[in-house]
């Protein structure tokens, strides 16, 4: 039985003051949650949020990291720095950070949001840097609308899963949280049908099984992400291959995020 894990990705939203207000409302609403709860605030609020949630059932995560420990990498944050702020988790390979073919998409459109040029190679470097520093990575994978329409969903998702895990031992792989996030469903209000989300989470699990065997595959947690809301959370979280949710927009509203957390089976 895998514990449900609900993570909130606040993206580039909020100040320390708004984070405090959000958490002040959220903490009592989820005090008895059976799910594991993670919040991933913007980096400027990590320390504040870490202090506020210190004695609660909420864990802290970063939204991204750079794979080097330190040096001339302007604007970047290392795994060690996230640890220093009390992070236990970090998102890697979010579709907003990925660019297909290693560079940002040439045609930025509302359905292709890939700003920071992450490739499968850099996502793997980030994931390994996280694991090497005892941070649990939340590895995001997912197809664009064009890839889905071309019938390539399963191959894209399996390839991203395997590439993200390159040179990762079975012992480490079992710690990784996967998030199947169809790019076309992120921030669009268009949720993937629960049966299809469950099926593609199964594709992720099969890719893990091909690399490490069924024991590891059955142990890993696979979240669904993409327009998860209180009104679709119960159905999604009840699916056998969906072990939680990575929540963007709804994680900025305490009542909505709490309802999703409390929808855990
Ligand atoms: C996300 O950014 O990971 C996400 C799933 O966003 P949203 O819930 O807003 O679609």
Catalytic sites, residue numbers: 94, 181
Sequence-distant (≥ 6) Cβ neighbours of residue 175 within 8 angstroms:
131, 136
Tokens of 118: 């992450």
Return d(Cα 178, Cα 95) in angstroms, integer. Answer: 13
DSSP-derived 3-state class of residue 36: strand
The confidence score (pLDDT) of residue 86 equals: 97
Per-domain residue ranges of the chain: 5-261
User: Is there an atom of ligand 1 within 6 Å of 244 CB?
Assistant: no
Burial of 107 (0-12, 13-18, 19+ CB in 10 A): exposed
Among protein residues, the one whose CA lies closest to atom 1 of ligand 1: 248
Instruction: Give pLDDT, residue 103.
Output: 41
**CB distance 142 to ligand 1 below 6 Å:** no
Nearest CA to ligand 1 atom 6: 248
Which residue reads 């329409």 in tokens?
Answer: 149
> Residue 263, Cα to own-chain centre: how many angstroms?
18
CA separation for the pair 58, 80 (Å, rounded): 20
CB 25 within 8 A of CB 256: no
What pLDDT, on the 0 to 100 scale, is given for residue 188?
83
Query: Among the atoms of ligand 1, which is closest to the Cα of residue 179?
Result: 3
91 lines ligand 1 (CB under 6 A): no
pLDDT at residue number 190: 86
Record the pTM: 0.95
Beta strands in 135-242 (DSSP E): 136-141, 177-180, 221-225
Residue nearest to atom 3 of ligand 1 (CA): 248
Q: pLDDT by residue for the chain (265 residues), tens digit each?
A: 899 999 999 999 999 999 999 999 999 999 999 999 999 999 999 999 999 999 999 999 999 999 999 999 999 999 999 999 999 999 999 998 886 543 444 554 444 445 677 889 999 999 999 999 999 999 999 998 889 999 999 999 999 999 999 999 999 999 999 999 999 898 888 889 999 999 999 999 999 999 999 999 999 999 999 999 999 999 999 999 999 999 999 999 999 999 999 999 9
Task: Report the sign of the C-alpha dihedral through residues 260, 261, 263, 265, in that order.
Answer: positive
Q: Which CATH code for domain 5-261?
A: 3.20.20.70
Strand partners, 178: 139, 222
**152: helix, strand or coil:** coil
202 CB within 6 A, ligand 1: no
Closest residue CA from atom 7 of ligand 1: 248
């Amino acid at each position: 039985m895998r514990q449900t894990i609900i993570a909130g990705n606040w993206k580039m939203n909020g100040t320390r003051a708004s984070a405090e207000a959000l958490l002040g409302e959220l903490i009592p609403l989820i005090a008895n949650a059976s799910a594991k709860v993670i919040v991933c605030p913007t980096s400027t609020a990590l320390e504040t949020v870490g202090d506020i949630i210190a004695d609660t059932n909420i864990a802290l995560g970063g939204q991204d990291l750079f794979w080097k420990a330190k040096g001339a990498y302007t604007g970047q944050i290392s795994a060690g720095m996230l640890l220093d702020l009390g992070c236990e988790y970090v998102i890697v390979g979010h579709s907003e950070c990925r660019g297909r073919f290693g560079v940002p998409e040439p045609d930025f459109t509302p359905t292709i949001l890939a700003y920071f040029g992450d490739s499968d190679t850099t996502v793997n470097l980030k994931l390994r840097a996280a694991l090497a520093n005892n941070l649990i990575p939340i590895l995001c994978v997912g197809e664009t609308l064009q890839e889905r329409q071309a019938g390539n969903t399963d191959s894209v998702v399996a390839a991203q899963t395997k590439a993200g895990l390159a040179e990762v031992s079975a012992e480490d792989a079992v710690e990784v949280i996967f998030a199947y996030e169809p790019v076309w469903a992120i921030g669009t209000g268009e949720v993937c049908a629960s049966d299809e989300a469950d099926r593609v989470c199964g594709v992720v699990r099969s890719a893990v099984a091909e690399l490490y065997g069924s024991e590891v595959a059955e142990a890993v947690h696979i979240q669904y992400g993409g327009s998860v809301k209180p009104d679709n959370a119960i159905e999604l979280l009840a699916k056998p291959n969906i072990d939680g949710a990575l929540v963007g927009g709804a994680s900025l509203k305490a009542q909505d995020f709490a309802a999703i957390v409390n929808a855990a089976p």
